[in-house]
Amino acid sequence: MFDRRALLLTLPALAVPVLGAPGCRAAATPPAATWGEKLVAAARGQIGRTVTYDPAYRRLDYPGGDVPIDRGVCSDVVIRAYRTAFGLDLQRLVHEDMAAHFAAYPRNWGLKAPDRNIDHRRVPNLETFFRRRGAALPPDTPWRAGDLITQRLLPGHYPHILIATGRHDSLGRPLIVQNNGGGARLEPPQALADLAGHFRLPPAAVSPG
């Protein structure tokens, strides 16, 4: 019978370099994740946890308020991702900016003052906040990990926001994380949509102070 141990013992010894020994190159350290990749990881962490699309108005704690993790809308994916990845609270940041510059924000909902329960969850308000922070990019900019893309879904021109992953599927379509009706998912963006905005918002651009 074939003796595998005997065969192994007859093989010539292989020279195995010792890390740090003279003349040896240490294994390369994996590059640190970019802030965009950290944001994507935080968004992907919601998949399987946020399973319902629920646009209902709710009274939230402030700051740090959130609807139950099993539900939410497209903007909640973004809000939770920034909190998880960087400890940044878009609820507070948007509310403070709206309180100081209310006239700069859309009046789509007939409000006469900011509402910290809902303002940060409305895509047009987020678009305004991102532009005011200098995060807007030209529409033909390639999508990178962590980029925020806003759309107007068809039919109805409904505002929507998603997070680009910087990756593509086997058909070459960009993969994004969004809640477009069935909870947080990793999938290609909806084809029937108009591009409304492209934003790149590193944490340094929204850090308090």
Position 87 pLDDT exceeds 50: yes
Residue-wise pLDDT for 138-186, tens only, equals: 999 999 999 999 999 999 999 999 999 999 999 999 999 999 999 999 9
Position 22 pLDDT exceeds 80: no
Q: Which pLDDT score, from 0 to 100, does residue 28 have?
A: 62
Position 13 pLDDT exceeds 90: no
Bridge-based pairing state of the strands 184-187 and 193-199: unpaired
Domains and CATH numbers, the chain: 32-205 (3.90.1720.10)
Q: Which amino acid is at 118?
A: I
Helix (H, G, I), strand (E, B) or coil at 186: strand
Q: Which pLDDT score, from 0 to 100, does residue 126 have?
A: 98
CB atoms near residue 165 (< 10 Å): 23
Q: Which pLDDT score, from 0 to 100, does residue 31 have?
A: 75
Nearest to 98 by CA among 83, 117, 84: 117
Q: What is the mean pLDDT of residues 130-134?
A: 98
CB atoms near residue 188 (< 10 Å): 14
Burial 1-28 (b: 16+ CB within 10 A, else e): eeeeeeeeeeeeeeeeeeeeeeeeeeee
Position 4 pLDDT exceeds 70: no
Position 5 pLDDT exceeds 90: no
